[in-house]
Structure 1
């Protein structure tokens, strides 16, 4: 009697699970192949073909959007909403990726700034490549002959070199972090409206994004104006960061036109492309040296040493008509066999023979049983010793 309710409950659980996954798969298929696509969905789809930055179809693990989770559980996700989420996720993913690149290089320069003056001078001469090694060595010798303050000037130059890169990367990191934080806060404010009616809230969302891009442009432009004359990296600020402006739109209208929506979305991706290009250029000019550049002396010594050893072996090999290597191998083998015979095998055999002679000469009546047992064990162990010829 108790088994029947358990069977019914398990059957209901299986049916519920199948129903849940069926609805989930149907919703996913409906987002890919909607039965009655709206104009808004067609505009979003056209974006992926018109922009130079396509929407990423597979997200990396990162910071999730601050959208209410209960609304996803209560109502199915609309196709147009999923497209808007992809746009927002792409903005966040690109910002986090750029922040990671900036932080990675910034940590390297900060670690170099914490080192001693001798460590900084070593970096300037030995860890920036062969050209910097030659130029630094020549300058160091010239200043040593001239005024005797070569190491002091070199450490000052290294401090200025490192501080310059820390200043630029820190400013970029701060500006981009503020942009990402404000973006996250704005999405948090309009998250419920964005889930319930993404088409209606899309216009105000684009205006907010345009304002955030303008603030980011002003922040980086302010740093540009303050440090353009002070920084020594050639061509660092050859062009300022400029974003496209959102066209004037009547915000009182409930719906945008098709052209206005396409232009607004294209604007976001043009600005993202401009931001990625600008940050890539700035980070490339202030990035840490590559591992091959930092350890070029070790790699060079290793390559030279390996080349010398290879050439020496080649001279004594059969390829050059020499039998030196074969003779060395034969002599090493003969020396090993001779050492084993003289110092291992012969002493063991002599000990065995002495024990056998002693055992034979002793009278059996005089020997104790314990002594006989010990002697037989010793002989037994000696008989099983391996003999190598």
Structure 2
């Protein structure tokens, strides 16, 4: 708890700075290309169409094509947002269905307004209290209806992407012509121009038809949802499930007539008949263009969006404008209030009410002790708290670091030692001279031994220790032997012999040993002082080091942690692979195709946010060594319409190649 709170407090300024930097500098939204039409592919197609356009009518066709692309992009973004909202509500109610305590939650977890209405309903309908629909049945109905609504939105999403894929002019001759014009920049021939513009016109018509159909399908799905059952009617759980399934079936079947009516009114479904006459063909093309304009106007009214397509508008600018428009106004449908997941304030309104009461009491307390009521308690408390914080900062953070600096740069250089090394060397030289003089004066003993002669070592004596003593202080062994001999007649030798001189030499030796011990003790004291300074500076060093680490990690790019941070992306990819498997069993299912698009979009969002957090400055994939570039291309291929078996191979390659999806 404490480390998490500390991490939150320390990371709050960095989060504020990053959010401000993102809003000021990197306000461009992340685009999920509809139908696999990336800005690069769209720019290539638009360049080829403009190269083929020679008349004002041709330019109008190109503008219609670009407008259809914008409308498809806006519709896709809004449907993805609505599907996300429905999925959140579905996940919430499904979790509540498993959690239990449904009655208490429906009573206290939907806001104070719902609480008051439920209390009034219970008070006014005491006789029908036992016939009231159970809380479990109410939540179960929400789950079933939300699943049906999500299925309809996924079908609409698949229609939009299929329609947008028509804009890429999928026939092989047109694609080869587009690549030739884009690569060489040559002017196409009259037949090639006619074929290209005719394909663009047909693709535009089909795309708008799919967009209008998808929009009406989504709105009709919400209109077909019935209101929640009245509280006074008794309905068992089985009947609730049957009614909810009927609602789902209605959502799937009652749109075709309306769509056909709209398409017939706008002229989208009228086929273009062949004619040998050039004038009649031009007349029909102009009529078809007018029909496309009518369909565009209808789609614009349905989406409440005006495309920015013009004679000089680029594909990248058009897609960016569409994405920004969808970001400003994301909602295409409105989920009924009784189906939407309660907000955090509705779920915890009791806690917030208690917190509000506590806040009012705190405000009253502050008013009583504030200068408004003539009291100076708040000022005194604030001054005392400020002084305490400042003193704690100086004593616990600044002072230990300064003390550690002084220990490192001044103590070892300026601190006076108890015994200096020079004094020790002087006393050692003096002792060596004493021993030499003693050996020279008393070298010849009464037994006639040669000067400096020493007795042979005893069998149990350590020869190495004797040699070490002789090497360190020459003559010390001779002096100790004389001292041992003089102690046999101490009184006589004290006056006439060498006993007093040997005692004085030993005093000098004791002084030398004491100075050596004091030098060692001084080194130990210095090391201990440094250790104490480091231990005292640990909190301040931890704060400074943690702040520096977070700042460096925020500025410089780093690979994401696969075990924790990449877990949502991996789970989203698992859901996408599962949706692919279901779609492979029924390739004609629009719901399965829409589920693949939706789950792949979730993977796209999760990975983009993950790479953005670890890029250092807020944009994904700035480093040339990042996996984002290839990963983004694979995700776009998964979103684009195609065969399920091909997409399954792409999904398997992603799990095999990218470290992000490897546990």
Q: Which has the larger radius of gyration?
A: 2
Q: Paired residues, what number?
A: 294
TM-score (norm 2): 0.34
Cα deviation code 1:42-87 (max 9, x no counterpart): xxxxxxxxxxxxxxxx994523439799888989744536424412
Structure-2 change in CA distance of 1:297 and 1:374 (3 Å): farther
Matched, 1:62 2:62: no
Change over 3 Å in CA distance of 1:96–1:233 after alignment to 2: farther
- Distance apart, 1:90 and its partner CA: 1.5
Question: Paired residue for 1:251, among 254, 265, 273?
Answer: 273
Q: Which runs of 5+ in 2 are unaligned?
A: 1-28, 54-58, 179-192, 231-250, 275-279, 305-329, 392-509, 533-663
In structure 2, the partner of 1:131 is 113
Aligned to 1:283, what secondary structure does the other structure show?
coil
2:68–2:296 contact (8 Å) kept in structure 1: no
CA contact (8 A) 1:68 1:191 kept: no
* Number of the residue aligned with 1:273: 300
Matched residue, 2:242: none
| 1:169 to 1:119, Cα distance in 2 relative to 1, 3 A | farther
Distance 1:375 1:291, change over 3 A: same
Q: Which residue of 1 aligns with 2:287?
A: 260
Q: 2:334 maps to what in 1?
A: 283
Q: How far did residue 156 of structure 1 move? A: 2.0
Work out the CA distance in 2 between the residues paired with 1:371 and 1:267.
104
Q: Is the 8 A contact 1:113 1:163 kept in 2?
A: no
Query: Is 1:89 the equivalent of 2:235?
Result: no
Match of 1:314 among 358, 367, 373: 367
Q: Output the CA distance in 1 between the equivalents of 2:369 and 2:219.
A: 67
Distance 2:281 2:71 in 1: 25
SS at match of 1:267: helix
C-alpha root-mean-square deviation of aligned residues, in Å?
5.4
Identify the residue that residue 355 of structure 1 maps to in structure 2: none
- Name whichever of 370-379 and 174-183 sits farther off: 370-379
1:196-243 CA distance string (max 9 Å, x none) = 544433554455357546865896699689x56x55499xx9x97763
Residue 33 of structure 1 corresponds to which residue in structure 2? none
Structure 1 portions without partners, runs of 5+: 1-57, 338-364
Q: 1:136 to 1:82 in 2, by over 3 A?
A: same
- CA distance in structure 1 between the aligned counterparts of 2:213 and 2:52, rounded to whole angstroms: 32
Q: Name the structure 1 match of 2:199.
A: 201
User: For residues 229-285 of structure 1, what are the alpha-carbon distances to aligned partners after superposition, in whole Å with 9 as ceiling and x for unaligned?
Assistant: x55499xx9x977635233676334324686255323222233235436x9564343
- Deviation of 1:316 after TM superposition, in Å, equals 1.0
Distance (Å, rounded) in 2 between the aligned partners of 1:92 and 1:292: 35
Write the distance in 1 (CA, Å) between the matches of 2:208 and 2:347: 42
- 1:308 Cα offset (Å): 2.6
Cα distance, 1:187–1:141 mapped onto 2, change above 3 Å: farther
Is residue 166–residue 207 contact of structure 2 (8 Å, CA) maintained in 1? Answer: no
Indicate if the aligned counterparts of 1:109 and 1:288 stay in contact, CA closer than 8 A: yes
Partner of 2:629: none
Name the CA shift for 1:261/1:233 in 2 (closer, same or farther; >3 Å).
farther
Q: Deviations over 1:266-324 (max 9, x none)?
A: 222233235436x9564343554455545545554444433332321221122211233
Q: Distance in 1 between matches of 2:145 and 2:287?
A: 43
Rounded Cα–Cα distance in structure 2 between residues aligned with 1:142 and 1:75: 69
Indicate conservation of the 8 Å contact 2:87/2:150, yes or no. Answer: no
